[in-house]
Structure 1
């Protein structure tokens, strides 16, 4: 029998404990004296801060550029830095479960976001401290840590209220809230907290998508991830300053860490969750306070499972029963015990994509990843994990594999739960892949397979698909629908979740044939999926099939659609039919949907403004996330309502803001011209309508409105006449365009032709405001022809038809002055212009 070397023998001996016999690194730099380590001051309170998705190498204390994380760097300076802290999973919920229980995922049973819940019988740090008389509170920044997933147990206060985020960060307010909002909530609690407490603060900002607020966005233009980290660091600074201001007794224990890192394109992964490389598994871990030597650097491998045991130890409280993590007090004093092998896993590859799961170990020198094709890296010589040694080091692979087997012996994945539609949508809003019901490949496979078994598709062979899917979601969020369709074409036939995204892109791009084809396939493959029926409703609504759209939206609701989309669609249909009370009711219901959207709020606000309920309408607009009203559809609807309500300045400002984002929008230019006309600014109206015509040169409405404007200005009248005549012919001689042509002819002094066109428009059955305008035009033409009594009669008819409408008051004043001047015997002011 072949003899094993010393390292291999040590690995086997360590099989029942996560340890390895590699040489342990030197004691911590500037470690506290032994006497101080033996009898440290006891902490009275503990603060745990988790900065989501923070790579260790993006922190100044870990070698990143100076000045980006001054708060974390200062914490490292006055406390301890753990150089090799390892996350067990590149996923938020499992890693936070580890932080709060001292257990790795095989022991606490949480392996992915959303699909698992921490069991009620698992001891937690918060429950232990509350039982010992500590006040406990948590403030989390993202839905992925919502109380429903089991982490709230033991906390007196578990603040996962994301709705209070308000307009701070845009459309994702339902799924996350920014660090300043989280810290504000924590500070409010700390103002009345007792001296003995444990508080956990979770800052989600470094997680994708990376959109830091100002001034960090401008400071980190080329590196928004760094901007998010700097913003979160600044908010952490606010928190620590407030703690120091109230509790300056030196008895506050502070731990700062992350749940996982971010790949940022390394190894073909854009973000995280599907690999176990250092970019996602090496995290910062900083500890400061009583019992922690200032400036210490611990180079032993430590795990997030060690955090809860360490906090309890430094607080002088009993250990958590059954915890697999160990207190790091001894490591802080330079006696870390036997070398460690930290556990690693990701089941997201299997649960999201049907690929093989990954498992691994991280020792002081090596990283081993169990996969269909295993990987082994020498981290001392190859910190970037670019040179796989698995093929050339079979003995070490075999021994690490046996150690991993021992770590997982007899364990199976806990049963995963089906995601409710609202849970899935909120996770997707955070950037996670969350296949809908019926989309999962090989359902139940993860639970049926012993934990640690691998096989099937190796994630590294298909990882590019995740990046493509991420890009597809980005493009959809930016409304770049044609580009999104190109990505979908590259991905090919990849299952139901991709087809749903492709359907959204096709709908946005106006590709009706493709939408119908995709919707038909979805109806065949997943007839109980509410999203399919909601999209069908939108398709039929755009095609003008109101009954078909209504039936589809109602079917989506009957299937339990949690989003606001079907209710909003029904509200739009009712509004278009003039059933405004019914429309309001649908919009109110949509605002209370499990997955709310901005649209029903701004549509309801527009109805309120148009009804004269200005205070209510304004209050609704203030509830909208920042940036929503710059979107073209929202800006058009709300500005139109503001124009109708006489709030022209607000309408103008709103349209100007929207035009900065969409300068080529014909619809925005058209409405901007109408607002300028209402304000009497004919030059601004001309500029807007010239831009409208450039953007839509074949649009008869653009030609008509520009011709009208030129007529009012008395400029380029031959051009105005050509534009008006083109619009008349293009619309089949519609009364509104005949009115414009008559106005141009009046401006040119061709009163007989103007009278003929006004009479033609009236004969074609014009009604409402158009009829009133044509009568005013008739009165002008008759005045120009000096037919005074007829002009006076036409003015009376026009005023009766106008009924005092505010939109026609300027017209009435101008034409009335012209006609009445004939009564006084003055010559008709045919050359007068506004």
Structure 2
């Protein structure tokens, strides 16, 4: 059989439980749900480092943070003897690998690379980033240039995707009409690239939407699609459980979200859902383009997100924790000519596995730090027993580790040496902390984490005498984030 086309579609900060196909009875996502009907949906899929930059390097390398060096958005954390060049350290990026396997390659959307203009190996790469810190970066952003050159009537807008800083978690409406937002632009460019027929090679495409990442600013009429009074309140545990991870309260203050009440939380969820339904409509255009080709049945589509968003659950906003709302992601794989339809699976999978899915489909599987998900489907590969997550520079109090098996989740927080244990089979909302009540299970999962960490040099600073290293508990000084358009000379609230 001819090599299939391969299309990866990613949203940013999309919770797994915010899709109709994954049990949400409010939000409307008919096009994404169609992917679930036509393929496999994974109930236990995770971002092993649930924050923007690390998740993206995991996807493009098939490597975990102990190889990529990205454990947070704060830059590289590498042992001294590791090469700084990412591909020298991790292997060729996925698009460069797929080119070598005979594919024409394109990437559209948010890449969040380090540096911002890093060459990822695509034959065609069209960028649309959230923040532009220099004029060079502004001119290198394909979406910003599209607005400037083709729709100069909107060039006065400082932040095309919505206002940030203190407005980060305020309900907003897009300053642009629905056919000119970054999501519409990304979908339109993807359609053009999918339908291109410049050669006989199959295509490998990556489409990365900025939304529904805050600011929550869907365009008209999606801004009023959902009634806030019909939205559920956040699901909160006991504060002493939710705030065992000190980063949550620190992050709330950082993003101006430390005192969001239930009415505002419901309004934010309504805008979040409006943005999701809008993106679903944009994805529908892409799926129509796939279907318009004669080889649509031999096209594998993977849909996922880089991480979730607490959206007020556990008294928290944003991501960067190992609660399900932050670290669990949607993960769907459709390949009509090869895979079952409408099947739900409980395999433990993660973003690291996308590298193996693509290379397996192309005929030369590279699992790297992941597993062969497609091999697990046909019985030629083994599923995971444990899935691990990592966050924060090893050797600092911000370091955290997660261990997930089929029924349980263990979390170790270096700041204070705190441990959490949740029985997700019976407590999917993670409201009851069981580490002290089930010491044997806590010890088993702690040992699994320790054994795994002892295998990887990059994690060595997070160990002490080959055991998990802890620090006396200490809260970080509170600070506010300021995210203005630096490329236009705006850096603070003052008028220039």
Please classify the TM superposition score into its range, dividing by the shorter chain length.
0.7 to 0.9
State the secondary structure of the residue aligned to 2:34: helix
Taking the aligned partners of 2:117 and 2:189, their CA distance within structure 1 comes to 21
User: What residue is the counterpart of 2:371 in the other structure?
Assistant: 326
Alignment of 1:622-633 (within 5 A): none
Q: Does 1:309 align with 2:309?
A: no
Counterpart among 231, 237, 243 of residue 290 in structure 2: 243
User: What residue is the counterpart of 1:595 in the other structure?
Assistant: 487
Counterpart among 71, 87, 96 of residue 120 in structure 1: 87
Alignment of 1:349-360 (within 5 A): 355-360=397-402
State the secondary structure of the residue aligned to 2:206: strand
Q: Does 1:86 align with 2:73?
A: no
Taking the aligned partners of 1:397 and 1:153, their CA distance within structure 2 comes to 41
Distance 1:169 1:311, change over 3 A: farther
Taking the aligned partners of 2:471 and 2:117, their CA distance within structure 1 comes to 31
Alignment of 1:446-465 (within 5 A): 453-457=469-473
Deviations 1:347-405 (A, max 9, x none): 17x99xx7432111111111000122111111111111111111122222222112111
Q: Does 1:369 align with 2:411?
A: yes
Alignment of 1:610-689 (within 5 A): none
Counterpart among 224, 249, 256 of residue 218 in structure 1: 224
State the secondary structure of the residue aligned to 2:429: coil
Taking the aligned partners of 1:405 and 1:169, their CA distance within structure 2 comes to 53
Report the Cα offset of residue 334 of structure 1.
Answer: 6.5
Is the contact between residue 266 and residue 279 of structure 1 (CA under 8 Å) also seen in structure 2? yes
User: What residue is the counterpart of 1:105 in the other structure?
Assistant: 65
Deviations 1:637-696 (A, max 9, x none): xxxxxxxxxxxxxxxxxxxxxxxxxxxxxxxxxxxxxxxxxxxxxxxxxxxxxxxxxxxx
**Under a length normalisation based on structure 1, what TM-score does the superposition of the two structures give?**
0.44
User: What residue is the counterpart of 2:440 in the other structure?
Assistant: 395
Taking the aligned partners of 1:249 and 1:182, their CA distance within structure 2 comes to 20
Report the Cα offset of residue 125 of structure 1.
Answer: 1.9
Counterpart among 388, 401, 404 of residue 343 in structure 1: 388
Counterpart among 283, 296, 320 of residue 343 in structure 2: 296
Taking the aligned partners of 2:287 and 2:48, their CA distance within structure 1 comes to 27
Taking the aligned partners of 1:174 and 1:329, their CA distance within structure 2 comes to 36
Counterpart among 401, 409, 427 of residue 382 in structure 1: 427
Q: Does 1:265 align with 2:312?
A: yes
Counterpart among 144, 147, 153 of residue 163 in structure 1: 144
Distance 1:174 1:294, change over 3 A: closer
Taking the aligned partners of 2:465 and 2:350, their CA distance within structure 1 comes to 26
User: What residue is the counterpart of 1:130 in the other structure?
Assistant: 99
Taking the aligned partners of 2:214 and 2:296, their CA distance within structure 1 comes to 38
Alignment of 1:470-549 (within 5 A): 494=477, 497-498=479-480
Report the Cα offset of residue 247 of structure 1.
Answer: 4.1
Distance 1:141 1:249, change over 3 A: closer
State the secondary structure of the residue aligned to 2:70: coil
Report the Cα offset of residue 151 of structure 1.
Answer: 6.7
Q: Does 1:188 align with 2:192?
A: yes
Report the Cα offset of residue 210 of structure 1.
Answer: 0.8
Report the Cα offset of residue 205 of structure 1.
Answer: 0.9
Is the contact between residue 290 and residue 296 of structure 2 (CA under 8 Å) also seen in structure 1? no
Report the Cα offset of residue 104 of structure 1.
Answer: 1.7
Q: Which has the higher contact order (CA 8 A, sep 6+)?
A: 2
Taking the aligned partners of 1:169 and 1:380, their CA distance within structure 2 comes to 51
Alignment of 1:770-781 (within 5 A): none
Taking the aligned partners of 2:224 and 2:69, their CA distance within structure 1 comes to 42
Taking the aligned partners of 2:156 and 2:407, their CA distance within structure 1 comes to 42
Deviations 1:321-362 (A, max 9, x none): x702111123334676354311112217x99xx743211111
Deviations 1:200-255 (A, max 9, x none): 01011111111111111011252111111111111111111112213444221110
Deviations 1:609-639 (A, max 9, x none): xxxxxxxxxxxxxxxxxxxxxx9x99xxxxx
Deviations 1:142-199 (A, max 9, x none): 6xx1462687432222222242363399532399972112222323333435441211
User: What residue is the counterpart of 2:280 in the other structure?
Assistant: 233
State the secondary structure of the residue aligned to 2:125: strand
- Please list every run of 5 or more consecutive structure 2 residues that lacks an aligned counterpart in the other structure: 77-83, 128-140, 148-153, 165-180, 229-269
Is the contact between residue 103 and residue 324 of structure 1 (CA under 8 Å) also seen in structure 2? yes
Q: Does 1:61 align with 2:103?
A: no
Is the contact between residue 174 and residue 596 of structure 1 (CA under 8 Å) also seen in structure 2? no
Deviations 1:426-469 (A, max 9, x none): xxxxxxxxxxxxxxxxxxx98999996342437xxx5xx8xxxx
State the secondary structure of the residue aligned to 2:66: helix
Distance 1:385 1:249, change over 3 A: closer
User: What residue is the counterpart of 2:303 in the other structure?
Assistant: 256
Taking the aligned partners of 2:360 and 2:406, their CA distance within structure 1 comes to 24
Distance 1:266 1:165, change over 3 A: farther
Is the contact between residue 46 and residue 351 of structure 2 (CA under 8 Å) also seen in structure 1? yes
State the secondary structure of the residue aligned to 1:84: strand
**Under a length normalisation based on structure 2, what TM-score does the superposition of the two structures give?**
0.72
Distance 1:355 1:58, change over 3 A: same
How large is the Cα RMSD of the aligned pairs? 3.6
1 or 2, which has the higher strand percentage? 2
User: What residue is the counterpart of 1:285 in the other structure?
Assistant: 331
1 or 2, which has the higher helix percentage? 1
Taking the aligned partners of 2:468 and 2:387, their CA distance within structure 1 comes to 15
Taking the aligned partners of 2:409 and 2:427, their CA distance within structure 1 comes to 10
Distance 1:217 1:357, change over 3 A: same
Taking the aligned partners of 1:159 and 1:451, their CA distance within structure 2 comes to 45
Distance 1:114 1:391, change over 3 A: closer
Report the Cα offset of residue 598 of structure 1.
Answer: 7.7
Taking the aligned partners of 2:284 and 2:156, their CA distance within structure 1 comes to 20
Distance 1:446 1:356, change over 3 A: same
State the secondary structure of the residue aligned to 1:158: strand
Is the contact between residue 45 and residue 198 of structure 1 (CA under 8 Å) also seen in structure 2? yes
- Please list every run of 5 or more consecutive structure 1 residues that lacks an aligned counterpart in the other structure: 1-40, 415-444, 466-493, 505-562, 565-593, 600-630, 635-834
Counterpart among 202, 207, 213 of residue 201 in structure 1: 207
